[in-house]
Copies of this chain bind each other. A is one copy, B any other.
Amino acid sequence: MPKVTPDHKEQRKQTILDAAQSVFLGKGYQLATVDDIAARSGLSVGALYRYFPTKSDIMLTLLERKLGRAPEILQRLTQDIAGAWPRLQRCIEIFVHALHVRHPSTGRFLIVAWGEAIQDNTVRKGLQGRYAELVDYLASIIDEGIAAGEFLPGAESWVIASMLVGMADGITLYWSTGTPGMDLRAMRFTTLQMLRNYLTPLAIREE
């Protein structure tokens, strides 16, 4: 199909990315071969290399598309919610729900990406950047809460935000490797309660 619309090119790219994600989920990044991805996408290896310069680049593009718009989406979905705590709570719920329920494959994909980040500088930089944006956004909500007198003044927003995202990742890690008997709902509930206890102690909460 020569001289094809830009739309069509974008569709092809997405097809390849979908195939790549599915292969990465099944075998991890290193064990996934370019032949695998080509076969799954219904294209040839050569065609695939017309859209992406390297295998690593496929992974990076996937990361960007999966995580790049997360802060913006969270912002859009929670901008009408009044109060820092309800907004923070909603953000965590949306994020965790997305990783574990709505798009569980994305959750597992992120873990694969972390596995690769350990040995690949480019992937590591990509992941770090995307996560930093997320942490910054959560921290900004906490800061607002502190400024509004809703949260305990001493809370270090960046520390807490990092912990939250770290916890989400750690738990996704266990869960994605199929550790049996994990009650994700109970964990989310307990986390939120712990967090609320910490950020808004009784004195403030009862006002």
Contact = CB atoms under 8 A, between A and B. Distances in A.
Q: How many copies does the complex hold?
A: 2
Contact of A111 (B27, B118, B179, B195): B118
Chain A interface mostly helix, strand, loop or mixed?
helix
Contacts of A18: none
Interface string A160-171: 101101111111
Contacts of A171: 162-163, 166-167, 170
A192 to B, nearest CB: 11
A28 interface: yes
Contacts of A127: 177
Q: Which of A28, A124, A131 has the most CB of B within 10 A?
A: A28
A188 B198 CA distance: 14
A182 B165 CA distance: 13
A140 interface: no
Interface in A191-206: 191, 193-195, 197-198, 201-202
Contacts of A111: 118
Contact of A119 (B28, B162, B179): B28
Contacts of A118: 28, 111-112, 115, 176-177
A174 interface: yes
Given A114-B177, A197-B198, 12 more contacts: A31-B119, A112-B119, A128-B178, A128-B179, A131-B174, A159-B183, A163-B171, A166-B171, A166-B174, A167-B167, A167-B170, A169-B170
17 contacts: A28-B119, A112-B118, A114-B114, A115-B115, A118-B176, A118-B177, A124-B178, A128-B179, A156-B183, A158-B181, A159-B187, A162-B182, A166-B171, A166-B174, A167-B170, A169-B174, A194-B197
